[in-house]
Structure 1
Amino acid sequence: MNATQSSSCSRNSVLIIGGGLVGASLAIALDAAGVAATLVEAAAPRTDAQPSYDERNLALARATVNGLDAIGVWRHAASRATSIEHIHVSRSGEFGSARIDAHRQGVDALGWTLPARELGAALLRRLDECTRLTRLAPASLVALEPIADGWRADIKTADGVQRIDTSLLVGADGTESFVRNRLGIDAERHDYEQTLFVCTITPEREHRNRAYERFADSGPVALLPLAERRCGLVVTVPAAEADAISALDDAGFAAFAQQRFGWRLGRLSRPGKRHPYAIRALAAQALTAPRAVLVGNAAQTVHPIGAQGFNLGLRDALTLAELAAAAADPGAADVLARYAARRAPDREGTIAMSHSLVRLACLPQPLIAPLRSLALLAFDRLPPLRDAMARRGMGFRGDPPLAVLEQLP
């Protein structure tokens, strides 16, 4: 719906700032649970070209797909997804490797790969089905002030400014969150001094629904299975080398990717358009403030190693929706305290895992190389350890939202 200039305030129980992947998922989950909300989206809705969703290929954990299915999104995306049935982890120049197999875990897939644009389009189609949700787009938050029982927000739209009072303010507005800054929540930041390049590429041999993660001194590289025999390439380089990599033509970039990944799938060719991203991590020092909460990248932005970003953010959204649906007042202090307590183990564990993998798996220290190889071999040969890590990788960790759960062997 379009906003109009108004001198009076409208009242809303939940106001979500940010219509990206996590914010849209939260809005849908609240609507499915019968909770009225308003979603403020920076971009006008377009399923063919949504600026909020880029050309990345997302690795969606099994728990994530369960959650998307529970809120009615997955039916709009499933036909474009590719299952991940095997994962192979190794390090360049070292003898150890680890493998995870879906069938050993008693499931048909460990996760799925899906272009981010396709997930964005599926979310937009599902948003169109919502009946309790008010959408303001294109719109942006321009002012925010506390009131007795919530927050008063001024939302700028093409038709003017709409003032909304809300009992629960949700910041889903990304790493440089306006909401987080306005709430006065500090954040710890870390610059990895790395740049991530993502694109599609075609291997000579079939990927057979196998995902690869390969570590090296210069950073990790991943190859994700996609439809039509293509793969999604994710390669990390030192920031100082980013300009040189950006300047490579297709043949030069394919040769660079080959050198970094190796020959497990034969020759790599036909790289698509490259998109570079500076890699910086952020962790908000608090998830909540009075009648306000942070989700997704506004709460934590993690290193892309292990592809945990959206998976973690969706668990934020589904946990918040679950608690809000069961509460008479979604913004009450006890509700937000339960949210923070439930999210802490998953959040802290994922942040620590991502950071440790970068530091240990990519650390150029020859003295620890044998230990890394032995650790990978132990992982591969000790079923209890492998199974526990596989379940965490599938998104079943901490106290997850009910929407993602299933009975695993």
Structure 2
Amino acid sequence: MNLNDPAAPRGVLIVGGGLVGASLAIALDAAGVPATLLDAAPPRRAAPASYDERNLALARATVNGLRALGVWPHAEARATPITRIQVSRAGEFGTARLDAARHGVDALGWTLPARELGEALERRLDSCRNLVRMAPATLEGMGPVEGGWRATVRTPDGARTFDAALMVGADGTESFVRERLGIAAERHDYGQTLFVCTITPERDPAGRAFERFGDDGPIALLPLAERRAGLVLTVPAEQADEIAALDDEDYAALAQRRFGGKLGRLSRPGRRQPWAIRRVAAARLTGPRAVLVGNAAQTVHPIGAQGFNLGLRDALTLAELVAEAADLGAPALLDTYAARRAPDREGTMMMSHGLVQLACLPQPLLAPFRSLALLAYDRVPPLQRLLARRGMGFRGEPPRAVREPLP
């Protein structure tokens, strides 16, 4: 690539304007890197708060990153800190507990309505100076040119083409960019369906989050404002239609049986949203002058709420490297990106996959070993610190924007 050639492709083309793609666009704009963001959806309008809204669990490292991007000030008023986490297995004696105070921090993470994060990203995107945002716009084709890629983009005003030095696929699990790059993806169907809703427990969660495993899959409760909780219930896929048809009373009773009585009676389940659970992992993260981030790179089991947290670390690592590069799509840069992300990516995928495979197996012979493992994480200080650091999103070599000194 001739950097002095005015006709050479320049800038970064980000395909996908979801949470990860938008975060990457903001990070590149802050670094002064020219970028274009393609978003298939039209610009979002502010929506009123709803009892039924979907909620996100944001790791501490994620909130650090959102602060660095200038996004968090637009969202923090609706965020609820997670100060304690309890992990257990139904019918077994082991429990692992994490306490923010024990690790010298004010919170292990925060819960936030997904709508609030989306609107915070919108407000921050509005203040970007170098970013070109096209919405609605869809990538219809891409072909290599000298020094980059030529993209064909469909907009309401018709098709147009332009060239970019680096193509970024942030376009989700069924990534068009990944497919066009010829990157294979390993797929695993867990045979599970996830139901997400808001519920009201009798006792205030008071900053406590719970993850409980069982033969039918994990169930989680996340603390929300106004004594509410975010309920995440996993069921066998063959039972999904039957459970979706339950009325509110019967659904709350099912959640109660699976979760137990730690917070008293559960009531007022909101509108349920079902999601088929699968694991999709790209065989590699990069192609010629191209890179995958977020769900396009890896879609993981939602256990531990790692999806967006992992994707944001993808975006911030890429932005950090691109900001310091003379050639935005140089092979050495992409190799460095893949190497930097490997420990975090592989460790997180292994953790989420292994947990759901081992913790939910209905094997009585495994019970004492699972219980002992949870007790070790609860009571052995080095294991406790390791669990806390990883739970807060600090794994491998995290991007500078999320780092902080930890005990």
TM, length-normalised to structure 1: 0.96
Amino acid at match of 1:111: G
The AA in structure 2 aligned to 1:398 is G
Assess if the C-alpha contact under 8 Å between 2:8 and 2:146 holds in 1: no
Return the offset for 1:314.
0.2
Deviation at residue 164 of structure 1 after TM alignment = 1.2
Aligned to 1:329: 327
Aligned position for 1:391: 389
**Residue type at the aligned position of 2:380:** L
Name 1:294's counterpart in structure 2. 292
Q: Which runs of 5+ in 2 are unaligned?
A: 1-6
1:249 aligns with 2:231: no
Which residue in 2 is equivalent to 1:5?
none
Contact 1:31 1:131 in 2 (8 A): yes
Contact 1:151 1:168 in 2 (8 A): yes
Asked if 2 retains the 8 angstrom alpha-carbon contact of 1:47 and 1:125, the reply is no
The farther-off stretch of 147-156 and 294-303 is 147-156
Q: Check the 8 A contact 2:65/2:402 in 1, yes or no.
A: yes
Distance 1:171 1:310 in 2: 15
Q: How does 1:215-234 map to 2 (within 5 A)?
A: 215-234=213-232
* Structure 1 equivalent of residue 84 of structure 2: 86
- Which residue matches 2:96? 98
8 A Cα contact 2:57 2:112, kept in partner = yes
2:155 corresponds to 1:157: yes
Secondary structure in 1 matching 2:231: strand
Alignment partners' CA distance in 2, 1:253 and 1:189: 30
Measure the CA separation in 1 of the matches of 2:255 and 2:162: 50
What is the letter of the counterpart of residue 67 of structure 1?
Answer: G
* Cα distance in 1 between the residues matched to 2:266 and 2:362: 26
Q: CA deviation at 1:55?
A: 3.9
Structure 1 segment 103-122 matched on structure 2, within 5 A = 103-122=101-120
Amino acid at match of 1:371: F
| Aligned partner of 1:277 among 260, 271, 275 | 275
Structure 1 position 264 matched with structure 2 position 233: no
Partner Cα separation in structure 2 for residue 150 and residue 166 of structure 1: 6
- Paired residues, what number? 398
What are the Cα deviations for residues 198-238 of structure 1, in whole angstroms up to 9, with x where unaligned? 00000000101000000000000000000111000001000
Q: CA deviation at 1:389?
A: 1.1
Aligned to 1:24: 22
Match of 2:380 among 371, 379, 382: 382
1:101-151 C-alpha deviation (Å, 9 max, x unpaired): 000000000000011111111101100010000000001000111111111
Structure 2 letter corresponding to 1:212: F
Residues 1:143 and 2:104 are matched in the alignment:
no
C-alpha deviation, 1:329, in angstroms: 1.2
User: Is residue 320 of structure 1 aligned with residue 339 of structure 2?
Assistant: no
- What is the distance in 2 between the residues matched to 1:20 and 1:10? 28
Letter in 2 for 1:101: D
The alignment partner of 2:320 has SS state of helix
Q: Deviations over 1:5-61 (max 9, x none)?
A: xxxx995410000000000000000011111100000111123259xxx94311100
Which of 32, 35, 41 aligns to 1:34? It is 32
- 1:158, CA displacement in angstroms? 0.3
Q: Moved runs in structure 1, 4+ residues, more than 6 A? A: none
Give the gaps of 5 or more residues in structure 1.
Answer: 1-8
Report the equivalent of 1:64. 62
Q: Structure 1: which amino acid aligns with 2:255?
A: A
Contact 2:8 2:147 in 1 (8 A): no
Matched, 1:74 2:66: no
What code does the residue aligned with 1:30 have?
L
Distance in 2 (alpha carbons) for counterparts of 1:233 and 1:327: 43
Aligned equivalent of 1:373, options 361, 371, 374: 371
Q: For the residues of structure 1 that align with 2:228 and 2:47, how far apart are their CA atoms?
A: 22
Match of 2:123 in 1: 125
- Residue aligned with 1:364, SS: coil
AA partner of residue 240 (structure 2): A
Q: Is contact 1:12-1:38 (8 Å) kept?
A: no
Matches of 1:320 and 1:251, distance apart in 2: 47
Distance of aligned partners of 1:41 and 1:49 in 2 relative to their CA distance in 1, 3 Å threshold: farther
Alpha-carbon spacing, 1:55–1:11, altered in 2? closer, same or farther (3 Å): farther
Superposition pairs for residues 347-358 of structure 1, below 5 Å?
A: 347-358=345-356
Q: State the distance in 2 between where 1:261 and 1:320 align.
A: 39
**Contact kept in structure 1, 2:53 and 2:198, CA below 8 Å:** no
* Distance (whole Å) between structure 2 residues aligned to residue 56 and residue 366 of structure 1: 35
**Separation in 2 of the partners of 1:259 and 1:16?**
45
In the alignment, residue 77 of structure 2 is paired with which amino acid?
A: S
Distance of 1:343 and 1:152 partners within structure 2: 27
* 2:167 corresponds to: 169
Aligned equivalent of 2:301: 303
TM-score, normalised via structure 2 length: 0.96
Paired with 1:230 and 1:342, the residues of 2 have a C-alpha distance of 38
Amino acid at match of 1:310: F
